[in-house]
């Protein structure tokens, strides 16, 4: 008898958790209106990145969000890469010198992964 009660509680607990995950997810209604004047709402998670444009379910035209979200305008300037930013601060010659310097330190065990440091320290103590 006790066993049955326990089993029932366990199963009930599980299904409650499953339902909670689905039912209680926060939502929002996002309104759209197409150029033909068809207004409609889409249900989305509040965490969703709300798209500025949604296809009108009645005529297939691109409907704009009524909450004032503008479609993303593509940047005209190409994005600066890390390499571009680096070259603004150092010439390639400088970078090559730094690389050589760092490689030397690495080979001497002064920089780099910790296990190499330790190995090197042991060698130093031994010698
Ligand atoms: Zn429409």
Report every protein residue that has its C-beta within 5 angstroms of ion ligand 1: 34, 36, 38, 56, 58-59, 61
pLDDT for the residue 113: 78
pTM of the model: 0.39
Q: What is the pLDDT of residues 12-39, one digit of tens each?
A: 444 555 555 555 678 889 999 999 999 9
The predicted structure's pLDDT at residue 122: 53
Per-residue burial over 31-68, b = 16 or more CB atoms within 10 Å of its CB, e = otherwise: ebebeeeeeeebeeeeeeeeeebbebeeeeeebbbeee
- The DSSP secondary structure of 36-78, one letter per residue, reads T--EEEEEEETTS---SEEE-TTT--EEEETT-PPPPPPPSSP
CA of 36 to the centre of ligand 1 (A): 5
CA distances from 21 to 2, 24, 46 (A): 29, 6, 14
26 in helix, strand or coil? coil
User: How far is 10 from 15, CA to CA, in rounded Å?
Assistant: 9
Low-confidence ranges of the chain (pLDDT < 50): 1-2, 9, 12-14
Is 115 annotated for ligand binding?
no
**59 Cα to the center of ligand 1, angstroms:** 4
Best CATH choice for the domain 27-65 from the list 2.70.98.10, 3.40.50.10800, 2.20.28.270, 1.10.10.60: 2.20.28.270
Tell me, what's the pLDDT at 97?
A: 96
**Every domain of the chain and the residues it spans:** 27-65, 82-125
Q: Is 38 annotated in some ligand binding site?
A: yes
Q: Do the annotations mark residue 34 as ligand-binding?
A: yes
């Amino acid at each position: 008898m006790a066993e049955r009660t326990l089993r029932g509680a366990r199963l009930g607990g599980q299904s409650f958790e499953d339902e909670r995950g689905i039912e209680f997810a926060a939502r929002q209604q996002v309104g759209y209106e197409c150029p033909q004047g068809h207004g409609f709402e889409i249900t989305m998670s509040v965490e969703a990145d709300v798209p500025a444009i949604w296809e009108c379910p009645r005529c297939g035209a691109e409907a704009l969000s009524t909450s004032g979200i503008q479609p993303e305008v593509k940047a005209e300037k190409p994005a600066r890469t890390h390499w571009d930013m680096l070259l603004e601060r150092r010439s390639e010659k400088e970078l090559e010198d730094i690389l050589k310097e760092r490689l030397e330190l690495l080979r001497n065990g002064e920089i780099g992964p910790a296990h190499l440091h330790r190995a090197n320290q042991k060698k130093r103590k031994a010698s």
